[in-house]
Amino acid sequence: MPCACSAAGGCGGGLAVRPPAPSFATVRVNEVEIPQAAIAREMQHHPAADPESAWREAARSLAVRELLLQEARRSGIPCEPEVDANGRREADDDALVRALLERDVQPAAATEEECRRVYEANPRKFRTPDLFEASHILIEPQGTEASAWSLAESQARMIAAEIGNSRERFAAAARAFSKCPSARQDGSLGQIRRGELAPALQDALECLQPGTTSPEPIRSRFGWHVLRLERRIEGRQLPFEVVRPKIADMLEARAWMMASAHYIADLAKRAKIEGIDITPDAATRP
């Protein structure tokens, strides 16, 4: 009988050889050790390509938190835990960190000039989305084998050829043949934003002229689609005055992130950090 673990590269003495568990450094912030168990729990919040990368991100996060807590306690900053709309009370340590950052990290508000510069540099970001008023007829294959898909394709092609660009014939065919719940609405999908459909369907929709039906059915994982575009509604540019608050929020959030990174870096320079690098650019290094 062949060895049960031969597919994994063989075995020695009947026992699979396992690689040694990775060893990680002890992490301390000003002589306060971050427990390995706490880092292991934190790893679930830092998905990464490999366990060591996840461990580094988790350790860095907890080390930064410990550094901020130590500074908050040293400075004796007062804090009041908040209660959210569901009655959940903020943890005391979270309240301490929040109070410290609110006191010490105060980036400048975004100016009118900065907001307008962003608006003028990225005009397409500040448009209402393009909309496609579309309909479809879904022909499902009666099985997973290739012959079932081929038969469904033939039916879809026949339907597309028979209805042409007639809205009335399309609606009748949708009610008679489509396996999508939209059949009850003559196949109507309503108004769709770009990207809401499967890529193959979206690509076909982009090529259609309003009031026309695609002569070629389009395949998706659901089946074959006969697609029709009723009309295309172009997005419109939003006035600067409408989007200025959104731009200001974005700039201020970015400024706050940069300011807090510099603040943490300054604290780290005066602290004794062991086992992990928490400087701002450390997250980009292996």
Same domain, 257 and 225: no
pLDDT score, position 195: 82
What's the pLDDT band for 283 if we cut at 50, 70, 90? very low
Q: Is residue 18 part of a domain?
A: no
pLDDT band at 281; cut points 50, 70, 90: low
Residue 123 domain-assigned (yes or no): no
- Cβ–Cβ contacts within 10 Å for residue 151, how many? 16
Residues 6+ apart with CB under 8 A from 179: 138, 139, 140, 223
* 244 domain residue, yes or no: no
Cβ proximity of 93 and 108 under 8 Å:
no
Q: Tell me whether residue 11 is in a domain.
A: no
Q: What is the pLDDT of residues 127-174, one digit of tens each?
A: 998 999 999 999 999 999 999 999 999 999 999 999 999 999 999 999
Shared domain for 44 and 101, answered yes or no, is: yes
Question: Are 210 and 260 members of one domain?
Answer: no
What integer pLDDT is reported at residue 279 of this predicted model? Answer: 76
Same domain, 163 and 214: yes
For the chain, the domain total comes to 2
- pLDDT value at position 205? 94
Instruction: Please check whether residues 99 and 139 belong to one and the same domain.
Output: no
pLDDT band at 55, cuts 50/70/90? very high
Range of the domain at 190: 128-233
Q: What is the pLDDT of residue 280?
A: 60
Residue 51 inside a domain? The answer is yes
pTM exceeds 0.75, yes or no? no
SS3 percent helix, strand, coil of the chain, rounded to 5, is: 50, 15, 35
In terms of Cβ atoms closer than 10 Å to its own Cβ (0-12, 13-18, 19+), residue 23 is exposed
pLDDT, tens digit (0-9, with 9 covering 90-100), for 177-211: 999 999 999 999 999 998 899 999 999 999 999 99
Q: Does residue 228 sit in the same domain as residue 257? A: no
Residue 19: partners with Cβ closer than 8 Å, 6 or more residues away: none
Is the domain of 137 the same as that of 205? yes
Within this chain, do residues 157 and 219 fall inside the same structural domain, yes or no?
Answer: yes
Q: What is the pLDDT of residue 13?
A: 41
Tell me if 5 is assigned to some domain: no
With CA atoms as reference, report the closest residue to 60 among 254, 284, 263, 256: 284
For residue 137, what is the domain's CATH number?
Answer: 3.10.50.40
Confidence of residue 21 (pLDDT cuts 50, 70, 90): very low
Domain-embedded: residue 159? yes
Mean pLDDT over all residues of the chain? 88
For residue 220, is it within any domain?
A: yes
101 and 158: one domain?
no
pLDDT at 79: 87
Specify whether 256 is located in the same domain as 228: no
**Is residue 150 domain-shared with residue 183, that is, in the same domain?**
yes
* C-beta of residue 137 within 8 angstroms of C-beta of residue 185: no
